[in-house]
Amino acid sequence: MNALLDELTWRGFIAHSTDLDALSAALDDGQLKSYVGFDPTAPSIHMGNLVQLMLARRLQAHGHRPFLLVGGSTGLIGDPKQSSERNLNPKDVVHEWVERIRGQVSKFVDFDGPAAATVVNNYDWTAELSTLDFLRDIGKHFSINRMLDREVVKARLETGISYTEFSYMLLQSLDFLELYRRYGVTMQTGGSDQWGNLTSGVELIRRSDGGKAHALATPLLTKADGTKFGKTETGTVWLDPAMTSPYAFHQFFLNAEDAMVGTYLKIFSERGREDIEELIRQTSEAPHLRAAQRALADDITDLVHSRAEREAATSAAAAIFGRGELQDLDSATLAAVCQELGGAQMTTGSDLPSIIDVMTAAAVVPSKSAARRAVDEGGAYLNNVRVTDAEQTLADSDLLAGKFAIVRRGRKTVGAVEIVR
């Protein structure tokens, strides 16, 4: 097997392939051009999309040329969901999201050298395409029977599916055909839930142009309990720092389960095999040290955000548990910490609240009487300073960045409030 395919297999990137032997031969034969698509159905891409970007990076590192497609047209339609019809977003919103996502995906690949990446928008070749030409040139190559066999379509037949979503497969297949014709792209990658769309593009190239192409699907990453990867209690883990802060992002991976951290390291870290296997061994023998989780969180935050943002995140995590200076954290980081800790807002007038009210609002204690006991027993802290007076009222000098307060009960129970005046 080709050395790159061997690495991709070890890293867990391969769930399905149209023909691994043929793909191996194509990779050995010289530079291969591949593409992956990102539909702008939200203002940011998320962790599931990052799997595809990491695969594109690995392909490029081995001399192959990646094409990143941002779906200005397919984003107006939306791939069918298992549950219900998608809400169609306004065209101006989708076009705005196209530009945001174009900027996001561009930071993960190199645009210089012989394997220089290219970003394309499928709106460029579909905007002027007439309905008649689309039906004559593309639709004639698709069997309704095969389209009905797609799992997501079968799931939706009982509740109903619009022709708009039903025809999405044709649009994605058209993308592959256009990239094949314009640039010589011969492979499409995507998640395993896209397998039907990927193979339909391969088949369209064969039927319309007699060409040979490949499809490669990655597994859908999940947590140890089988739930979808990339979800937290508050929603999707976005790559946009305004939607998921670097602090929350770093914390998400620090909290990765022991059973899954090796899988995530292989996908999201660019460390070598020996290094990753050593981290997995350390986690197996001394899970309390969380060596693999720390390496994973650091590596992926450095890549998605920056080393400076990662260092700010680790400093914040240390500070809230008394191992650093909370006063050194900037307002944005404090806001992220407050949100991640489930921080409550306390609306006040000119008088600031008591420490008892703050501890109760921050949910580090179940009641005001429990807060008083924590103070009396020496286990209550405000901004890492022990509270000795249960009647203490916060002062302006106690507010971090002018509006945040971090409270702690004992060593590990931490909460936060935001004071709104």
pTM: 0.91
**Is 416 found in the same domain as 373?**
yes
**Is 287 found in the same domain as 172?**
no
Residue 128 lies in a domain: yes
Q: Which of 259, 274, 305 is the last residue of a domain?
A: 305
Distance CA 60, CA 294 (A): 27
Closest CA to 48 of 255, 242, 227, 185: 227
Instruction: Quote the tokens at residue 392.
Output: 């203490």
**Is 167 found in the same domain as 21?**
yes
Cβ contacts of 175 within 8 Å, gap of 6 or more: 35, 37, 69, 71, 74, 122, 201
**Is 171 found in the same domain as 55?**
yes
Tell me the residue range of the domain where 245 lies: 221-305
Residue 350 lies in a domain: yes
Distance CA 316, CA 328 (A): 9
Question: pLDDT 10s digit of each residue in the chain, 421 long?
Answer: 799 999 999 999 999 999 999 999 999 999 999 999 999 999 999 998 999 999 999 999 999 999 999 999 999 988 877 777 788 899 999 999 999 999 999 999 999 999 999 999 999 999 999 999 999 999 999 988 888 887 788 878 878 888 888 888 999 999 999 999 999 999 999 999 899 999 999 999 999 999 999 999 999 887 667 776 544 445 689 999 999 999 999 999 999 999 999 999 999 999 999 999 999 999 999 999 999 999 999 999 999 999 999 999 999 999 988 888 899 898 999 999 999 998 889 988 778 999 999 999 999 999 999 999 999 999 999 999 999 999 999 999 999 999 999 999 998 899 999 999 8
**Is 203 found in the same domain as 88?**
yes
Contact indicator for 387, 375 with CB cutoff of 8 Å? yes
**Is 192 found in the same domain as 153?**
yes
CATH code for position 337:
3.10.290.10
**Is 43 found in the same domain as 173?**
yes
Contact indicator for 39, 52 with CB cutoff of 8 Å? no
Contact indicator for 58, 32 with CB cutoff of 8 Å? no
CATH code for position 155:
3.40.50.620
Residue 314 lies in a domain: no
How many structural domains compose the chain?
3
Residue 377 lies in a domain: yes
**Is 158 found in the same domain as 39?**
yes
